[in-house]
Amino acid sequence: MNLKGRHLIDPSDFTLEELNQIFTVAQDMVDIPEKYDKICKGKILATLFYEPSTRTRLSFESAMLRMGGKILGFADAQTSSVKKGESISDTIRVVDGYSDIAVIRHPREGAPKLASEFSQVPVINGGDGGHQHPTQTLTDLLTIKTLKGNIDGNKVALCGDLKYGRTVHSLIKTLSRYKDMEFYLVSPPQLQMPEYVKNFVKETYNVKIVETSKIEDVIDEVDILYMTRIQKERFFNEEDYLKLKNSYILTADKIENAKEDMLIMHPLPRVNEIDYSVDKDKRAVYFKQAKYGVYVRMSLMAHLLGVI
């Protein structure tokens, strides 16, 4: 399968077979990193981050550097010509003359899609508003595939901010494409998964969805617990945030009855939704998950650049 020159704006841009190809190479990169340490020599990644990021930006930069390539870009749009009023379409048309591939994070939904329509190089969506976060989804899928052995047939609880959380929107849409999936949506009423997302996965893939406001109701049922933080930056006023910020705090006693092989995942950063005592539990894999993000982004860029 040739992915050269493609964009990744939404996980549905790739077939499951194409995703599996990316995961297979990513796992090989984990096992034999030296095999790939020069494949992007002479290639340049542009990182255009209009919104704060640690893991996404640094993992992309680490990924390109590990493959022998170079990076340029900005981590604060206020240091770029955006401050002068430059449009994203003009920015990408300039930057694609400086680079071979670009990753864009933007607070406005649809901005990476717009950039891809003007770009001569592959564009990767590094997160757009509360909409999508496809490379986090690829990270999550590689983590599940590697640690569970299989993505099909898992019961997955998504907990926390399901209204604004772009990571869970991308994840549930993509996981629904796999066989025999079941979902438990755990959130306060104010932060429930949007109806359009639930309707899409139910009508398109006929998956089972159960909604609850209590994590204790589902903890002994699930194979994967995917925690998310209550995102202060998505609220219009601080009072609403303060009412909800402590809705879910996962502690060691709350997972006593969970399955021995359950995975506790989190896209990070965490605030207080996972107590530090949980870090010692073998089921807590969120830091492994973050590391897998480097390798899946290595594989993705290598495929889009056509160097493998």
**pLDDT tens-digit series, residues 46-89:** 999 998 888 899 999 999 999 999 999 987 766 555 656 789 99
Q: Percentage of the chain with pLDDT > 90?
A: 77
Is residue 177 part of the annotated active site? The answer reads no
8 Å CB contact between 274 and 264: yes
Q: What is the pLDDT of residue 245?
A: 59
Q: What is the pLDDT of residue 75?
A: 79
Span 293-301, mean pLDDT?
A: 98
pLDDT at 240 over 60: no
Considering 6, 105, 198, 229, which one is annotated as catalytic?
A: 105
**CA 66: distance to chain centroid?**
20
pTM of the entire structure? 0.92
pLDDT at 231 over 60: no
Q: What is the pLDDT of residue 304?
A: 98
As to burial, measured by CB atoms within 10 angstroms (0-12 exposed, 13-18 middle, 19+ buried), residue 234 is middle
Q: What is the pLDDT of residue 280?
A: 96
pLDDT at 306 over 60: yes
- 123 forms bridges with which residues in the sheet? 102
Is residue 55 part of the annotated active site? The answer reads yes
CATH 3.40.30.10 fits 134-290, yes or no: no
Give residue-wise pLDDT tens across range 242-270: 555 566 789 999 999 999 999 999 999 88
Tokens representing 83 are 């401050």
8 Å CB contact between 116 and 102: no
CA distance 8 to 97: 19
Domains 11-132+293-305 and 134-290 are alike in CATH topology: yes
Give residue-wise pLDDT tens across range 150-205: 999 999 999 998 988 889 999 999 999 999 999 999 998 888 999 999 999 999 99
Residue type, 34: E
Tokens representing 104 are 């864009």
- What does CATH list as the number for 11-132+293-305? 3.40.50.1370
Is residue 283 part of the annotated active site? The answer reads no
Q: What is the pLDDT of residue 158?
A: 98
Is residue 133 part of the annotated active site? The answer reads yes
Considering 79, 84, 214, 282, which one is annotated as catalytic?
A: 84
As to burial, measured by CB atoms within 10 angstroms (0-12 exposed, 13-18 middle, 19+ buried), residue 238 is exposed
Give residue-wise pLDDT tens across range 138-148: 999 999 999 99
Considering 113, 133, 155, 169, which one is annotated as catalytic?
A: 133
Span 278-284, mean pLDDT?
A: 97
Considering 6, 7, 43, 56, which one is annotated as catalytic?
A: 56
Is residue 105 part of the annotated active site? The answer reads yes
| Domain ranges across the chain | 11-132+293-305, 134-290
Considering 55, 113, 166, 245, which one is annotated as catalytic?
A: 55
pLDDT at 237 over 70: no
